[in-house]
Structure 1
Amino acid sequence: MRQTRLDTDRIRAARQVIDPAFLDTPLYRCEALEPGLGCAVSIKLETANPVRSFKGRGTELVASRLAEDGPRAVVCASAGNLGQALAWSARGRGLDVTVVASRFATEAKLDRVRALGARLELVDGDHETARERAAALARHDGIRLLEDSLDLETCEGAATIGLELVDRPAAVPPYDAVLVALGGGAMATGVGHVLKALAPGVEVICVQPQGAPALTLSWRARQVVTTDATETIADGVAGRFPIPSVLDDLLLVADDAVLVREPSIIAGMRLLLHHAGLVVEPSAALGIAAILEDRARFAGRHVVTIVCGSNVDMGSYHRWIGAPPQRGAATLLRSDRGGRAER
């Protein structure tokens, strides 16, 4: 269990540690999206960095502290994005990284983990199987186990996105809601903490697929709810086992948590491609999907959506959005045994 809570002063200090490549990412009004959505929309783009997701903000904190205090080896379970980010942050600091992943994870993400120099161990099963194996390796080898969303660095690194949302550019008009993809909860709790502390009038709305609803159901019930399976193309948020301390934080900062259907996620990806020029992974389109499913709620408002990742198998991507198919994978990521969501 987490022993401390998120802290705004520590989050501000984190900006001095995180590589500038991950900071001050674009925030801009995307008027081309607005006719199809019926509201003003701004994009916070977290894909324009070396690992094409927001995860590097957190792994920079982890790697910098390990480089100072040790141990100099770390293991994590990852569906791909966390592993890439940890490998990138560690390689310039002389740290050894092992990433444990399901052999059914997106191949493009696994290839990038290898390319960044991490040791990659594949397991049969899902992310929960990978998490158990990573924990066993940490115990056996006496190395650091990084658990996304549970370890505070991952949340406070992601929370720096919130600081940038509060200090919006002058060209971006005031907004009244932020849509955040909800998986393990690092980004939702981190960004939510900052907004509630510094911009309490902004509504924090978390978005999760109907096929992977565990943390949303937990938020609604105010207690941990697990599910028997996940079935969604949004592999970055596909988990069954919410972390109790993360749920505690989420209950403090989220104004709402909504579920969206797979066709809406695909429609959101298509809109982001055709009207914003962005190729995104399914998890990054959850905010657009939420607007599509409840236009009346957002009509006349200004909404920010965080586009959180663009690591996607292009064969599957073309199949989903209807472009000519390339070499690809199945259209749905299915897990009957499930696991904690990890991007």
Structure 2
Amino acid sequence: MQETRLDTARIRAARRVIDPMFLDTPLYRCEALEPHIGCAVSVKLETANPVRSFKARGTEVVASGLADRGPSAVVCASAGNLGQALAWSGRGRGIDVTVVASRSAPAAKLDRIRALGARLELVDGDFDMARERAAAVARYDGIRLVEDSLDIETCEGAATIGLELVGAAPSFDTVPFDTVLIALGGGALATGVGHVVKALAPEVEVVCVQPLGAPAMTRSWRQRRVVTTGSTRTIADGVAGRRPIPAVLDDLLVVADDAVLVREASIVAGMRLLLDHAGLVVEPSAALGLAAILEDRDRFAGRHVVTIVCGGNVDMDAYRRWVNAAPR
């Protein structure tokens, strides 16, 4: 495999600084889903933790390094999940955390950030506007800017999921699945898990999934150069970026076998399937993997697919509207 910014030895070391409650999350074959999607599917459940997403794996690595250097303060931009995770990891280590988010971010995520003790600053506009403001706060206050996907700790923390996926096999020679479907936003999850899978189980296909309404990283992967978009339009707020980071794209080009775009109706249908047949309430980003299967059943027929259920922070009023409108 070509080199990425990630290092497998550092990823293994990251497990030693991540709170165990975020590690070894459930991985199980969900046979109840299979008649509805036409292939074998296993679920990696990243919502069974205090922040209900995979993001704390990365923020634990960030916060551990900061705590080793004494009192500190950090700022990040967040669509909601990173902010919660950084607030949780910082609170336990005496780190002052500021989170910049869009006013349009889901209220449930914003409320949880506040409840975890972080200072929350809201801006007009989308996530990329929040990124600009967070960078300005970091410069003005002279504090650490935590930038998801660009900061290697966030990628290598997420990559520990890949170790657990491959390590679940009886040996590193074979794995029980042949495809892993990964939600694609800024790229930390995709590049992290993809790096480990390609390093330890290169025969497994790594497929990244993004909404049609937020296609910047997928278009960039396809054209092998950074492609920005003027706006986003998707319910999957956690992956709704407009400006890919060049270094992250470089890593994605190494580890991803494919990147696909899916419709909003398919995302909602995936959420409904996870509720009805797996008993899981998930945010839209977590249903992207199932959406990809629903849109291309022939491609995945006969395969054993792993989908990473990456987050469960969702506004329940919106969730009820979406799933109640989805056909059963």
TM superposition score normalised by structure 1: 0.91
Do the aligned partners of 1:71 and 1:143 also contact (CA within 8 Å) in 2?
Answer: no
How far apart are residue 104 of structure 1 and its match?
A: 1.0
- Please show how residues 1-343 of structure 1 align to structure 2 within 5 Å: 5-70=5-70, 72-168=72-168, 174-322=176-324
Do the aligned partners of 1:104 and 1:126 also contact (CA within 8 Å) in 2?
Answer: yes
Q: Distance in 2 between matches of 1:316 and 1:222?
A: 36
How far apart are residue 166 of structure 1 and its match?
A: 0.3
Identity of aligned residues (%): 81
Q: Distance in 1 between matches of 2:207 and 2:150?
A: 21
Q: Deviations over 1:195-227 (max 9, x none)?
A: 010000000000000000000000000000111
Do the aligned partners of 1:71 and 1:144 also contact (CA within 8 Å) in 2?
Answer: no
Runs of 4+ in 1 over 4 A off after TM superposition: none
Q: Distance in 2 between matches of 1:274 and 1:173?
A: 28
Q: Deviations over 1:147-180 (max 9, x none)?
A: 000000000000000000001166x971000000
Q: Greater CA deviation, 28-37 or 124-133?
A: 124-133
How far apart are residue 276 of structure 1 and its match?
A: 0.2
How far apart are residue 20 of structure 1 and its match?
A: 0.3
**Given residue 157 of structure 2, which amino acid in structure 1 is its aligned partner?**
G
How far apart are residue 107 of structure 1 and its match?
A: 0.2
How far apart are residue 16 of structure 1 and its match?
A: 0.3
Equivalent residue of 1:232, what SS? coil
Do the aligned partners of 1:37 and 1:295 also contact (CA within 8 Å) in 2?
Answer: yes
Superposition CA RMSD, Å:
1.4
How far apart are residue 322 of structure 1 and its match?
A: 0.7
How far apart are residue 71 of structure 1 and its match?
A: 5.9
Do the aligned partners of 2:175 and 2:201 also contact (CA within 8 Å) in 1?
Answer: no
**Given residue 224 of structure 2, which amino acid in structure 1 is its aligned partner?**
R
Q: Distance in 2 between matches of 1:257 and 1:128?
A: 22
Q: Greater CA deviation, 94-103 or 161-170?
A: 161-170
Q: Distance in 1 between matches of 2:175 and 2:279?
A: 22
Cα 1:169/1:72, change in 2 over 3 Å? same
Q: Deviations over 1:306-341 (max 9, x none)?
A: 0000000000000001179xxxxxxxxxxxxxxxxx
Q: Distance in 2 between matches of 1:131 and 1:241?
A: 10
Do the aligned partners of 2:229 and 2:243 also contact (CA within 8 Å) in 1?
Answer: yes
Q: Deviations over 1:253-281 (max 9, x none)?
A: 00000000000000000000000000000
Q: Greater CA deviation, 224-233 or 179-188?
A: 224-233
Do the aligned partners of 1:183 and 1:239 also contact (CA within 8 Å) in 2?
Answer: yes
Q: Distance in 2 between matches of 1:71 and 1:126?
A: 31
Q: Distance in 2 between matches of 1:310 and 1:28?
A: 17
Q: Distance in 2 between matches of 1:177 and 1:71?
A: 43
**Given residue 120 of structure 1, which amino acid in structure 2 is its aligned partner?**
L
Q: Deviations over 1:58-107 (max 9, x none)?
A: 00000011101256100001111000000000101111000011111100
- Segments of structure 1 that go 5 or more residues without pairing to the other structure are 325-343
Equivalent residue of 1:9, what SS? helix
Do the aligned partners of 1:103 and 1:125 also contact (CA within 8 Å) in 2?
Answer: yes
**Given residue 277 of structure 2, which amino acid in structure 1 is its aligned partner?**
H
Q: Distance in 2 between matches of 1:6 and 1:19?
A: 21
Q: Deviations over 1:228-272 (max 9, x none)?
A: 211000000001100000000000000000000000000000000
**Given residue 285 of structure 1, which amino acid in structure 2 is its aligned partner?**
A
Aligned position for 1:335: none
How far apart are residue 131 of structure 1 and its match?
A: 1.1
Equivalent residue of 1:322, what SS? helix
- Segments of structure 2 that go 5 or more residues without pairing to the other structure are none
Q: Distance in 2 between matches of 1:272 and 1:303?
A: 15
Do the aligned partners of 2:221 and 2:259 also contact (CA within 8 Å) in 1?
Answer: yes
Q: Distance in 2 between matches of 1:312 and 1:271?
A: 16
